[in-house]
Amino acid sequence: MKKILVLEDEPNIRSFVVINLRRNGYEPIEAENGMTALAMLEKNPDISLALLDVMLPDIDGFEVCRRIRASGSKIGIIMLTAKSQEIDKVTGLMTGADDYVTKPFSPAELTARVDALVRRLGSDAADKPSYEISSGPFLLNTRNRTLEKDCKRLKLTQIEYLLMKLFMENPGRAMSREDILKAVWGDDFSGELKTVDVNIRRLRLKIEADPTEPEFLTTVWGFGYKWGY
């Protein structure tokens, strides 16, 4: 049974989320503020995914997300926000979140997003133990889901890893945003194409010497992206 951290300061909403996660076979770990959530993550290193409310009484959900990623954790992260402004979606993704759900949300929508992310994070379980993909200065290891550039390990989220795997397996192939969204986020993902752009921007910050003039992950204007090395 996979553990899901539920960070939500409103008891009624948290209870609603917890009940529905339990009904769908997950083990919820509850937290009512950011500091408690970070403590619960340290206490439960086997947590698979975190649902993070943005508006909190102490530190906001974006800061919790930043600290989780700064620790090197690769757990799945879904932001829960009552706001629908574009800046909140972009901020969540840029701080390391994998997805976002806007309140109010239905039980079916939330559990579908959780199920989809859990599936994506486990999608490479059948890879060969020693399988590696190399491209220029990059070496991707699908056994431990890591990426090295010039023999130096880069810290990636699981979505960033899946993006790198997709591109490095398809060198020189121009892929549309729709193709990328389907390959990495899955057929049942109901988010926006903007999700691809924001994650590409975040990935470039880690792999490119100059993210504004990308050498490896290039833009195909009006279409999508390609691995150009």
pLDDT tens digits for range 52-102: 999 898 999 999 999 999 998 889 999 988 766 667 778 888 888 998 888
pLDDT level of residue 130 (50, 70, 90 thresholds): very low
Q: What percentage of the chain has pLDDT greater than the value 90? A: 62
Residues 6+ apart with CB under 8 A from 10: 53
What is the helix (H) or strand (E) element at residue 113, kind and residue range?
A: helix 107-121
Average pLDDT of the segment spanning 19-43: 95
Q: Which two tokens stand for residue 170?
A: 């398809």
Q: Is 48:25 a contact under the CB 8 Å cutoff?
A: no
Query: What is the C-alpha separation between 204 and 149, in angstroms, rounded?
Result: 13
Q: Is 38:63 a contact under the CB 8 Å cutoff?
A: no
Query: What is the C-alpha separation between 163 and 181, in angstroms, rounded?
Result: 10
